[in-house]
């Protein structure tokens, strides 16, 4: 497999493979490889597929709408929503309780 730099290049490779007649197993392998490389970002909600320019343009286009929304009760509810908190899993918790050990050498 070749190294794919952006999601656009990756999806284009998948589409090219489908057009070339690669079977479903190949497509599944491509998705498996992609998610294996990006699973942490996907799980933590940090996967970002827009370029910085596209993000800036999107914010600029929606600036008036965002500003109006920020003055509403709906926005305040959204900001206080528990769904807005980051994904948390005990698997990523590195704070362990102190370990009590018994010294067997004495």
Higher pLDDT, 10 or 106: 10
Neighbours of 30 (CB within 10 A): 19
In a shared domain, residues 25 and 38: yes
- DSSP-derived letter for residue 21 is T
pLDDT, residue 11, reads: 87
pLDDT, residue 46, reads: 66
In a shared domain, residues 8 and 39: yes
In a shared domain, residues 60 and 78: yes
Higher pLDDT, 12 or 53: 12
| Residue in the structure block whose two tokens are 């491509």 | 30
Q: What is the pTM of this model?
A: 0.37
Per the structure, the complete domain to which residue 65 belongs is given by 50-84
Say how far apart CA 12 and CA 4 lie, in whole Å. Answer: 10
- Number of structural domains in the chain: 2
In a shared domain, residues 2 and 24: yes
In a shared domain, residues 40 and 57: no
In a shared domain, residues 62 and 21: no
pLDDT tier at 54, thresholds 50, 70, 90: confident
In a shared domain, residues 40 and 55: no
pLDDT, residue 30, reads: 87
Cα–Cα distances (Å) from 54 to 4, 51, 68, 89, in that order, read: 20, 5, 22, 31
């Amino acid at each position: 497999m070749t190294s794919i730099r952006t999601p656009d290049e990756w999806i284009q490779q998948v589409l090219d493979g489908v057009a070339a007649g690669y079977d479903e197993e190949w497509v599944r392998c491509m998705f498996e490889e992609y998610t294996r490389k990006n699973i942490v970002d996907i799980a933590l909600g940090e996967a970002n597929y827009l370029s910085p320019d596209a993000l800036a343009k999107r914010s600029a286009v929606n600036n008036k709408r965002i500003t109006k929304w920020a003055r509403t009760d709906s926005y305040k509810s959204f900001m206080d929503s528990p769904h807005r908190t980051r994904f948390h899993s005990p698997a990523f918790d590195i704070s362990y309780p102190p370990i009590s050990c018994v010294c067997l050498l004495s």
